[in-house]
Amino acid sequence: MTSDALIAELKKRYESAPKSEVALSIHLFGIAFADQLVGHSVHDIAERATGHRSYGAEIHKGMRLAKYVVLK
């Protein structure tokens, strides 16, 4: 998956998330796209999609959780 496609997906999820669940939606993005995110700068993706570079850490948390959880 290209960086642009990952950015578009995160932006869609970020903008549609309820205010109180933004971080959760970013974690879920990291879980759902963990394999596709390998080799990409998650901090750059986070910044381009949300305007917040620090959300890259939240994506990393989701990526680490991916091997332990299955999304419904």
CA angle 4, 7, 13 (to 5 degrees): 145
Q: What is the pLDDT of residues 39-50, one digit of tens each?
A: 999 999 999 999
Check residue 11 and give its pLDDT. 98
d(CA 45, CA 65): 19
Shortest CA distance to 10 belongs to which of 63, 51, 50, 64? Answer: 50
Check residue 40 and give its pLDDT. 97
Q: What is the pLDDT of residues 24-36, one digit of tens each?
A: 999 999 999 999 9
d(CA 66, CA 44): 20
Residues in the chain: 72
Check residue 22 and give its pLDDT. 97
Q: Which pair of structure tokens corresponds to residue 70?
A: 């299955």
To the nearest whole number, what is the mean pLDDT of the chain?
Answer: 97
Give the pTM: 0.94
